[in-house]
Structure 1
Amino acid sequence: MNGEQLALSKLLKLAKGYHSALKVPEQATDWLDIQSSSLLVARLHQYWQQQYPEAGRSYWAIKSWGMLYWQPLYLAVISVHELTMSFSLQPMQQHYQQGVIAGLQLPTIKAQHHHSQQQAITNMAAHLKSYVVKLLTDLNLVARLNERLAMSLLADTLLAILLLHAKRKPQFNIQLMAAHWLHALDISEAGEFIMLTACSDSLALTRKTCCLHYQIGDVAKCANCPKQPQQIKVQRMQQELITACCS
C-alpha cells in the first residue's frame, strides 16, 4: 500500500467513526459525479418538491443543498483535524437513492500533508469551496439559493461537525479553528457556540440559519432554530441537555 492509498484508508476508516453513512454502500444505484452532476441534482430537488409540495421552494432548495454538501464537508473536517491533511474532492462520488445522498466512493486521493491544522484548513477550504460551488451552480439551474445563504447553511453544519470533533478531542481549540475555517471559506455569517449548564457544562451551537424542516407539516422547530427568541431557544436546548443527562 503506497502513501496515497494509506492516507485514503485512514480517512475512510475515521469517517465511519464520525457518521455511519460515510462509507461505500453495499448496494449502489446512482452516483453523483462532480463532472456530470446537473441531472442528478435536478432529480434530487424534484424528489423533495414532490415529497413535500406544501413546504415551498425555499425548503426544497435548502433540503437539496444540505444533501449535496454534508459528506464532502465531513471529509474536509476529518482530513484536517484528524490527519492534518488536505486533498482534492474532485474524484469523490456520492451515492444517491430516493432523495437521500449518503455513501461515497473515492478511488484515490492526492494527499498533501501539512505542518499545522491552520495550514491544512487553508488548503482544504479551497478544495471544499470549489467542489460545493459547482454543486450550488447545478442546484440553481432548478432552484433559487443565493451563495451567501448557501454558505451560511454550510457554516452552521461545519460548526456542528467541529463540535462533534471537540467532544472526541477535549483539548481541541474549537473557537480558534472555527474562526480559521470561516475565514478560509470567506463566510461572515454563522452560528455561535454557547455554554449550557443545565446538568453539566456543555458547549452547544446556536444556528444562524434555518433548515425550514418545520414547514413539512406538523413538525416542531428545532431546539436551536434561529426563528425563535434567544431565551426560548436556550431554554429548549437546556431541556434537551437535561434529558440527555438523565437517559
Structure 2
Amino acid sequence: MSETFSFDTLFKYSQAVTPYLEGRLKPTKVPSDSTEYSVEVINSQSNEQLPLLDSLPSITYGVPCSSDIKVLYDSIATVSPEAKQAYWLTRTWGLLCWQPLYLSFISIYACHGLPKIKDMTQDLREQFIAGYQFNDEEVRVDERNELIQVATTELHLLFDFYREEIGEWARIRPGFTNHLFADAILGCIVQFQQFQPEIQNSYFLEQAETWILAAGLPQNSLQGLTVNPETNKLHLVRTSCCLVYKCTGRKLCSDCPKLPENREMKVALKVT
C-alpha cells in the first residue's frame, strides 16, 4: 500500500460526494474451523455495523454476473414499465458505471493515487447499485496524467466485461456505451468544479480533454462542455439522453440534449 494514499481518506471523500458511495476493504478471512466468529463489515465513518457481505448480491470483474444484472434490469422495469426497454437498459448501464468512475476521479484528484478499480466489487440493491469493496490494497502512485491513463484502461476493461454479461440477454452496442461513458466523464468534471469553484474554467476544460483522449472516446463530446457566460461556470450538454423523461412524473434533465435551450446552445456553437 502507498505511504501517501489512504483508503480511509478515499472513503471519507467518497461519502462527502454522496452517502451512497460507501466503501470498505475486503475483510480478513475467517478460519474454516471457527463456529462462533462472524464477519462484520464496519462503516469506516460511523462505525455502524453493516449487513454481512454474503447477504448482499454483488458483481466483480471476471465473475459471471449476467443473471444478477438482469435482476437489476427487471427491478427497474417493474417500477417504470411505461419507460420501455431503452430506458431500462440505459439506467442499468449508468448504475453499473457510476461508482467506478466516481472513485477514479476521487482517488486521482483528492487522494493522489489509484487503487485497482477494475477489480472492485459493487453491491447490488433493488433498483440501484450502491456500496463497494476493494479486494486488494495495492495502489498506484504516479503523475496525474499517467493515473488517468491507467484509470481509463481499467474502466474500459470493466465496462467491456459488463457489456459482455448484459449481451447474454440484451443487445448493447459499444457505440451506445461509449457515448454514455464520455458523458459520464464530463459530468464528473462538472461536479469536480462544484467542489473546487476557485479553480479556473480552463483547468477543468483541459482535464476533460485529457480524460476523453486517454479513454479513446469520441472527441466531439467535448463540444458539449462549455462555459456559461451568465454564471461563468461549466455547462454540459450531453451527447446522449438518459430517457428518464419517459418515466411518469419525470422531466428532461438540465444537461439533456433534447432540452430546447440546450438545442439552441448547440446550434449557436456550430454557427460560431
TM-score, normalised with respect to structure 1: 0.84
Higher helix share: 1
SS in 2 for 1:207: coil
**Share of identical aligned residues, percent?**
22
Identify unmatched segments of 5+ residues in structure 1.
235-247
Aligned equivalents of 1:15 and 1:60: distance in 2?
27
Q: Which residue of structure 1 aligns with residue 34 of structure 2? A: none
Preserved contact between residue 4 and residue 111 of structure 1 (Cα < 8 Å): no
- One-letter identity of the residue aligned with 1:220: K
Matches within 5 A, 1:107-186: 107-114=135-142, 116-169=143-196, 170-171=198-199, 173-186=203-216
Aligned to 2:134: 106
Superposed displacement of residue 7, structure 1: 3.0
Shift of 1:230: 4.3
Q: Is the 1:122–1:184 contact (alpha carbons within 8 Å) kept by the matching residues of 2?
A: yes
Report the equivalent of 2:105: 77
Mark the CA change 1:30 to 1:60 in structure 2 (over 3 Å): closer, same or farther. same
C-alpha distance in structure 2 between counterparts of 1:168 and 1:49, whole Å = 34
Q: Deviations over 1:190-210 (max 9, x none)?
A: 252222344x42222111110
Residue 195 of structure 1 is matched in structure 2 by 227
Q: Which residue identity is paired with 1:17?
A: A
Task: Supply the AA of the counterpart residue of 2:126.
Answer: Q
The change in CA–CA distance for 1:5 and 1:141 in structure 2 (over 3 A counts) is farther
Once the 2 structures are TM-superposed, how far is the Cα of residue 213 of structure 1 from its aligned partner?
0.3
- What is the deviation of 1:51? 2.2
Gaps of 5+ in 2: 24-42, 44-49, 266-272
Summarize deviations over 1:122-169 as a string: whole Å, max 9, x none.
111111111111112112222222111212112212111112212323
Q: What is the CA–CA distance in structure 2 between the aligned matches of 1:52 and 1:141, rounded to whole Å?
A: 23
Q: Which residue pairs with 1:240 in the alignment?
A: none
SS for the counterpart of 1:178 is: helix
Does 2:73 match 1:45?
Answer: yes
Whether contact under 8 Å (1:225, 1:233) holds in the other structure is: no
- Find the counterpart in structure 2 of residue 245 from structure 1: none
Which of 217, 228, 242 aligns to 2:259? It is 228
- Stretch of structure 1 that moved more, 76-85 or 177-186: 76-85
Structure 2 contact 105–188 (Cα < 8 Å) conserved: yes
Kindly name which structure, 1 or 2, has the bigger radius of gyration based on alpha carbons.
Answer: 2
Q: Measure the CA separation in 2 of the matches of 1:101 and 1:4.
A: 31
How many correspondences in the alignment?
231
Give the direction of change, closer, same or farther, for the CA distance of 1:231–1:207 in structure 2 (3 Å limit): closer
Q: Give the conservation status (yes or no) of the 8 Å contact 1:11–1:78.
A: yes
Q: AA paired with 1:176? A: E
Q: Does 1:14 align with 2:13?
A: yes
Task: Tell me: CA distance 1:219–1:201, structure 2 relative to 1, closer, same or farther (3 Å).
Answer: same
Deviation at 1:46, TM superposition (A): 1.4
Deviations 1:210-243 (A, max 9, x none): 0000112242212221123445676xxxxxxxxx
| Secondary structure of the corresponding residue to residue 36 of structure 1 | coil
Structure 2 SS opposite 1:77:
helix
Q: Which whole-Å CA distance do the structure 2 matches of 1:85 and 1:233 have between them? A: 40
CA distance in 1, matches of 2:107, 2:92: 24
Cα offset, 1:20, TM superposition: 1.4
How has the CA–CA distance of structure 1 residues 95 and 231 changed in structure 2, closer, same or farther, with 3 Å as cutoff?
Answer: closer
The root-mean-square deviation of aligned C-alpha atoms, in Å, is 2.3
CA shift for structure 1 position 72: 0.3
Using a 3 Å threshold, how does the CA distance of structure 1 residues 106 and 40 change in structure 2: closer, same or farther? same
Q: TM-score, normalised by structure 2?
A: 0.77
> In the alignment, is the contact (CA less than 8 A) between 1:45 and 1:61 conserved in 2?
yes
Matches of 2:5 and 2:140, distance apart in 1: 13
